[in-house]
A and B are shown apart, each in its own frame.
Chain A
Amino acid sequence: MGPFIKDKNTTKKMMNHLLIALTPIIIFSFIKNGFIPYKKGYTNIVGLFYPLIFIGISTLSTFIFETIFKLIRTKNIKEALKNTYSIFPGLFLGLILPINTPIGILILGSLVSSIIAKMLFGGFGKNIFNPALVGRLFIISVFASTIMSKGGYLNPYELDAITQSTPLTNASVITGIGNYETLVRPYGRLLNIFIGNIPGAVGETSALLCLLAFIYLTYFKVIKWKIPVTYILTVFSITYVIGGSNDLGIWYPLFQIFSGGLMFGAVFMATDPVTSPVTPIGQILYGLFLGILTVIFRYLTPFPEGVLTSILTMNMFVMILDKIGSIGRFNFKIALIPFIVAWLLIIGLSFGIAVTLNKTEEIDPNFSILSKEINQNKTTYIVTQKGYSSTLKGQIIIENGNIEEFKILDQNDSFYSKIEENNYIEKLKENNEIDTVSGATITSTALKNMIKNTLNDYKTGKKENIINEEATKEPKPTFEIISETQIDEATKEYIIKNKGFSGDIKLKVTLTNNQIKEISVLEQNDSYFHMLEENNYINTIIENQSNIKEIDTISGATYSSKGVKEGIIKLLEQVGVINEQI
């Protein structure tokens, strides 16, 4: 038994305090998500009480599931109904989910929270992972697109009247670091975000109420205050440096702290007595690394939110942290090591992210300079520009501001012959603004951009040599036909590979009489690939294969759908079904 289980009386008192602290948050959620939409006429009487119903269902579900489980185990109704605070996972789960989560999915999530994350591990006091967070992770991993298609985090009023996204989602779509206008202004003033009158999960939005809860709970010694304090301070410091080196005021770190359920997570989820460290040193380290992880997830991954994953990840390390904590009391030196690591990470992250965000300004991501050699007033560039189906590598020599020489060293674009037939390279050398070659428009545009970007660097870039050994290497093709099998006279089966979002997509395509009969996905590594299946994308491609280029990509899985569509287009070109780029 660990020291985190106090006697029954204290536990009961703690839980009561917790409930009291949560009440203002529940009421606020009711007002924001139920009362206001009702008053403004965006929803009916059911919608008025919906937030309460939502939270009520999740709370009740975990209670029922846990009771049934205990009933099966102990076969004793009295034992089963004994209160072991089974309502809390459900209560928290309801508060951290988007309000448009379908009820069936909500109940399924409660099942995962109570049974899989808690009861199977031994019940109250024995679980490793925070049950509510496991439930939410499960729901988000599996049903994200379903929920988003029903409106995601937006309540009926926000959906129709405002149509925004949550502040963090908004921040993740902005290029670069953003500023007060783009990050905060859409939601009013910073105060608005603090109070919580913004889109978000059912109960997570109000930083103000979480702060009040924190003060209340710390006063009554219910939660481990060191954890939220260190957590929030860490995030504040790192984002302060990031904002500062990009000339953003103190509102920036405050914005980061108040948005995205950080306050709620820090006060209620990270301090969960069972899944957090016991020793003081352990707690401080816990808070430090939570902050570090949240920053990493918010800035360096495509998912906008980081609190959930950070807490669950650190849950895994709690045992180790407590070991360090207990050793640290006697052997200070050993405990020092993780602190040093933490500080190095903090400093590294602050400046690393600050610098990289600064740099992301208007450089064409499809262009890169492999080498640049300055010889008095003659500069020789070897550059690459993404073409149609391959990377174009070119050599451009600029003298006194004019292009003296333009040569393509390497390319593998389909229909490049049209460029050569038209003597396009020579013509571009004289005038970069001429029309593209029909039938090879994308390659033509890429060639024009290649010259434009090189000229841009010539005028504004640093006057120093760049040497990159990649200049001599073969560029890796993005598309490849891996195999071709003749099934019968009219049918051939191809296995192709094309770049998707985070990796390659492998497809098997069956062509009969040059018509696509079937496409199957052999391998892919993209997080949102399931959206293609949900939108029946493959069938859409097969049915519209004569107009395949007109087919839209799937929003939310743009690169994946693009990878599939373009891979098939390239196959059709190589086989001769399609005859020109468009």
Chain B
Amino acid sequence: MKKIINGIIYENPILVSTLGLCGALAVTNKVENGIVMSICVLIVLLLSNTIISIIKKLVPENVKIPVFIIIIATLVTIIEILLKKYAPSLYQILGIYIPLIVVNCIILGRAISVASKEKITTSILDGLGVGLGYSLALILLSTIREVLGNNTITLMDNLSAITGYKAIYKVFPNNEIIPLNIFNKQAGAFLTLGILIALAKYIGGKHESN
């Protein structure tokens, strides 16, 4: 249990270690996209940690990294195919950022530092923790960006092909300031993340001094 909390808070991949930013900033313009992306990353992370932890003794030292990359790439390809078949509109929106999960520093990083050294249960828990931390960060980021930038919270729009259910909520009544469409753009993404990380640092600093 402690390991999971560790992953979510102290070693939160985005807010603390600042890894895997590429995909995170790009897809968080709507809450739904953020959720879907984090689910994909979570699945790949869990599976890769598990598989690598299982086969860690079979892989010779010098081909470790290429083998890990192949495993991760295969997992991502499977997810790509599934997404393309069952939710084509989501596939179009997330675009190249799904294949880019392969080079997401988080997954490879965890594979090298944890999964290849620890036992299976530890690896699974670690994957779960870090993955949940990633999801938390993404959901925070996308909620702020969408509420401020689009005045909505989209929980289920393009996924409706599978679930047949839509949930888009408007937040503030019509006014001049919100939606602040800077948050839909790249500049807003950088800004939001910067403030979030600063906040995280501040809270972390306070916690330490206690």
- By the criterion CB–CB under 8 Å, are B158 and A142 in contact? no
- By the criterion CB–CB under 8 Å, are B158 and A105 in contact? no
**Given the interface contacts A141-B182, A485-B161, A530-B181, does A522 sit within 8 Å of B176 by beta carbon?**
no
- By the criterion CB–CB under 8 Å, are A138 and B177 in contact? no
**Given the interface contacts A102-B176, A138-B182, A142-B180, does A493 sit within 8 Å of B93 by beta carbon?**
no
Count how many chain A residues have C-beta atoms less than 8 Å from C-beta atoms of the other chain: 22
- By the criterion CB–CB under 8 Å, are B177 and A522 in contact? no
Closest to B90 in A: A522
Which residues of chain B from 19 to 67 have a CB within 8 Å of any chain A CB? none
- By the criterion CB–CB under 8 Å, are A523 and B92 in contact? yes
- By the criterion CB–CB under 8 Å, are A104 and B89 in contact? no
Q: For the complex, is B157 an interface residue (Cβ under 8 Å from A)?
A: yes
- By the criterion CB–CB under 8 Å, are B177 and A108 in contact? yes
Closest to B182 in A: A142
Which residues of chain B from 154 to 207 have a CB within 8 Å of any chain A CB? 157-158, 161, 176-177, 179-182, 184-185, 187, 191
Question: How far in angstroms is the closest Cβ of chain A from B122?
Answer: 40
**Given the interface contacts A138-B182, A508-B158, does A105 sit within 8 Å of B177 by beta carbon?**
yes
Which residues of chain A from 487 to 503 have a CB within 8 Å of any chain B CB? 487, 493, 495
Question: How far in angstroms is the closest Cβ of chain B from A16?
Answer: 35
**Given the interface contacts A102-B176, A485-B161, A523-B93, does A142 sit within 8 Å of B181 by beta carbon?**
yes
Interfacial chain B residues near A9, Cβ < 8 Å: none
Q: For the complex, is A441 an interface residue (Cβ under 8 Å from B)?
A: no
Which residues of chain A from 452 to 500 have a CB within 8 Å of any chain B CB? 482-483, 485, 487, 493, 495
Option from A522, A530, A533 in Cβ contact (under 8 Å) with B93: A522
Q: For the complex, is B88 an interface residue (Cβ under 8 Å from A)?
A: yes
- By the criterion CB–CB under 8 Å, are B92 and A520 in contact? no
Question: How far in angstroms is the closest Cβ of chain B from A219?
Answer: 40
**Given the interface contacts A104-B177, A146-B176, does A495 sit within 8 Å of B157 by beta carbon?**
no
Question: How far in angstroms is the closest Cβ of chain B from A421?
Answer: 37
- By the criterion CB–CB under 8 Å, are B176 and A105 in contact? yes
Complex: how many Å from CA A407 to CA B184? 48
Q: For the complex, is A393 an interface residue (Cβ under 8 Å from B)?
A: no
Complex: how many Å from CA A522 to CA B94? 10
**Given the interface contacts A102-B176, A104-B176, does A508 sit within 8 Å of B89 by beta carbon?**
yes
Q: For the complex, is A506 an interface residue (Cβ under 8 Å from B)?
A: yes
Footprint of B on A, CB under 8 Å?
102, 104-105, 108, 116, 138, 141-142, 146, 482-483, 485, 487, 493, 495, 506, 508, 520, 522-523, 530, 533
Can you list 29 A-B pairs with a CB-CB distance of less than 8 A? A102-B176, A104-B176, A105-B176, A105-B177, A108-B177, A116-B191, A138-B182, A141-B185, A141-B187, A142-B180, A142-B181, A142-B182, A146-B176, A482-B92, A483-B88, A487-B161, A495-B88, A495-B89, A506-B92, A508-B89, A508-B158, A520-B158, A522-B92, A523-B92, A523-B93, A523-B95, A530-B181, A530-B184, A533-B179
